[in-house]
Amino acid sequence: MRLKRKDLLGIEELSAEEIGLILTTAESFREVSEREIKKVPTLRGKTVINLFYEPSTRTRTSFEIAAKRMSADAVNISVSTSSVVKGETLKDTARNLEAMRPDCIVVRHASAGVPRMLAGYVGCSVVNAGDGSHEHPSQALLDMLTVKEKKGGIEGLKIAIIGDITHSRVARSNIYGFTKLGAAVTVAGPPTMLPPGIEALGCKATTKMDSAISDADVIMMLRIQTERQKESFFPTVREYSSLYGLNSERLKKAKPDAIILHPGPINRGVEISSEVADGPFSLILDQVTNGVAVRMAIFYMLLGAAREE
Amino acid sequence: MKKIMMDDKAIDRALARVAHEIIERNRGTDKLVILGIPTRGYHLAMRLQNKIEEIEGVRPLAGAVDATLYRDDLGIKKDQPSLKKMDIPISIDGKIIIMVDDVLFTGRTTRAAMNALMDFGRPLSIQLAVLVDRGHRELPIKADYVGKNIPTSKKEGVKVHLEETDGINEVVTEPAID
């Protein structure tokens, strides 16, 4: 059993079986991080390059730790200190990195489609670590793993995703993933942040947060990009928070066993109150722990078998 | 044509003998931890755990050691092995580990499982118990307890079927396929 792919570019192109296979494999990898010696020799001699054109703490560290726990060598390139500032094109950067014979390039970029373009330039595996407002597949996989772990399964669950749906790659990847596994997804946000036609991805959309969370098993809060406030997507942070923020008062309207996810970094007091973020229903840190296991599984499945010629 | 080499009774007798041998050689059950290599080695480990308890009145700890991540053919084989359960119930430092597998063939799985164990601690000793030894070792590895020696040609297949996974207890040989 293996993923018959060179690259992991998005959840859209994965089948339910492939997602299931990655999640089952990730469940086995969780144990490695609990050991005293947190390392297995599986990917000895493989090289992973983390190429991040956007800032990131969680995702980049998580990919790096995952690679190292598999005994692969991980190299980080952050663009502010690279030749990109001297004007090197993406294509030239890709070709030069490829000339050093890595086995995998993990890429994050502000423009949608960059990982796919890169995958066309290089022979090694490419993993999308977030491209523009398009997809963030490893985040969706760790979200699904966290939900599966807590709820025992995903089929038949109701998932509410709240916030800036328009600009969220996390939302898009999760809509694809959860609907493929048989969950019902509802997205909610202010009208300026709900892209028209989002229902075509197989979810419901509403501007009323309370109706989205009232029967939800999982409430996923998205980070509100306060820098976008300048672009007038919402009048004030305070108004956004009162209409679409999750606090303990609003949480009373949800099911008593609803679980809360957030991809981080959180804006305390904006989209989620500290009480809720640090409360008993929040799985925010479980998500981070599962992120390492999911990324180990991704590396294992892309790099752990001989390449089909 | 497949040939039945061991039936339900023969497997049970062999395991009973191996259980006695384990107790005799280690002078009881003190420090024993029985770890099976999934899938079928794990079920055999569970059976040995029961047998040892029946004989000694003490239930030794048992679990699973998955060798997948330590295999030497990852990145060579096109088919990727799926991960199995790792279940080591206690610190293995200073313990006598009885590693259990269904068939001993090239010895490569045993090597991988030993490397996996070493990442969990420093056992006092590791002993190997197998239901079938079919020969053709590629590494200097030898079983301490053998249910049955079945000489085979290298191309023949030897399959262990267990109630828990296959609905029947039997050991069969299958002729070479080429």
Residues B159-174: tens digit of each pLDDT = 999 999 999 999 999 9
CB-count burial class (<10 Å; 0-12, 13-18, 19+) for B39: middle
* Predicted confidence (pLDDT) at residue A1 exceeds the cutoff of 70: no
> What are A1's two structure tokens?
């059993």
Nearest to B80 among A37, A41, A301 (CB): A301
Residue B178, pLDDT > 60, answer no
Residue B111 lies in a domain: yes
Distance to chain A for B107, nearest Cα, Å = 18
Longest dimension (CA), chain A: 58
CB contact under 8 A, B119 and A39: yes
Give the tokens for residue B107: 């010895």
Chain A residues inside the 8 Å CB shell of B81: 1
Query: Does B75 map to a domain?
Result: no
Cross-chain residue pair A306–B82, CB shorter than 8 Å: no
Q: B104-153, pLDDT tens digit by residue? A: 999 999 999 999 999 999 999 999 999 999 999 999 999 999 999 999 99
Number of H helices, E strands in chain A: 11, 9
pLDDT, averaged across chain A: 93
**pTM over 0.95, yes/no:** no
Q: Which residues does chain B have within 8 Å of residue A37's beta carbon, measured at their own beta carbons?
A: 119-120
Chain B residues with a Cβ under 8 Å from any Cβ in chain A: 66, 69-70, 74-86, 115-116, 119-121
Q: What is the mean pLDDT of residues B64-87?
A: 86
Please report residues of A whose CB lies closer than 8 A to that of B112: none
A37 touches chain B (CB under 8 A): yes
Does the beta carbon of A264 lie under 8 angstroms from any beta carbon of chain B? no
Note whether A28 contacts B80, CB cutoff 8 Å.
Answer: no
In a domain, B34, yes or no: yes
Q: Number of Cβ pairs closer than 8 Å across A and B? A: 54
Q: What is the pLDDT of residue B88?
A: 93
Structural domain containing residue B53:
3-70+86-175
Position B24 in a domain: yes
Is the CB of A44 inside 8 Å of chain B's CB atoms? no
- Which residues on chain B are in Cβ contact (under 8 Å) with A25? 82-83
| CA of residue B14 relative to chain centroid, distance | 13
> Which residues of chain A are within 8 Å of residue B115 when distances are taken between CB atoms?
41
Contacts of A2 in chain B (CB under 8 A): 79-80
Number of domains in chain B: 1
Q: What CATH number is attached to the domain comprising B146?
A: 3.40.50.2020
**Span B16-38, mean pLDDT?**
97
| pLDDT tens column, A287-305 | 999 999 999 999 999 998 7
Q: Note whether A226 contacts B: Cβ–Cβ < 8 A.
A: no
Tell whether A308 is within 8 A of chain B (Cβ).
yes
A83 touches chain B (CB under 8 A): no
pLDDT of A29-55, one tens digit each? 999 999 989 999 999 999 999 999 988
pLDDT, average across residues A198-217: 96
Percent of chain A with pLDDT over 90: 85
CA distance linking residue A191 with residue B156, whole number of Å = 68
pLDDT tens sequence across A85-113:
778 888 999 999 999 999 999 999 999 99
ipTM: 0.82
What whole-number distance in Å separates Cα of residue A25 and Cα of residue A23? 5
Partner-chain contact B82 A37, CB within 8 Å: no
Q: Does residue B80 fall inside a structural domain?
A: no
Share of chain B above pLDDT 70, in %: 99
Residue A70 distance to chain B (closest CA, Å) = 9
The verdict on residue B77 lying in a domain is no
CB contact under 8 A, B120 and A35: yes
Mean pLDDT lowest among A3-7, A295-299, B33-37, B60-64: A3-7
By the CB < 8 Å criterion, does A187 face chain B? Answer: no
Nearest Cα of chain A lies from the Cα of B94 at a distance, in angstroms, of 16
Q: Could you tell me the sign of the dihedral formed by the alpha carbons of B91, B96, B100, B106, in that order?
A: positive
Find out whether A155 and A183 touch, Cβ atoms under 8 Å: yes
User: Pick from B78, B84, B85: which is nearest to A306 by CB?
Assistant: B78
Peptide bond into A265 cis (omega under 30): yes
Query: According to the model, what pLDDT value does residue A57 have?
Result: 85
Of residues B78, B81, B116, nearest to A308 (C-beta): B78
Q: Does the CB of A36 have a partner CB in chain B at under 8 Å?
A: yes
Contact A37 B86 (CB under 8 A): no
Q: Inter-chain contact A305–B79, Cβ cutoff 8 Å?
A: yes
- Domain assignment present for residue B105? The answer is yes
> Is B154 part of any domain?
yes
Chain B positions touching A32 (Cβ under 8 A) are 69
Q: DSSP per residue over A12-55, as a string? A: TT--HHHHHHHHHHHHHHGGGGGSSS---STTTT-EEEEEESS-
Q: Do A41 and B80 touch (CB under 8 A)?
A: no
* CA–CA dist B152, A280 (Å, integer): 59
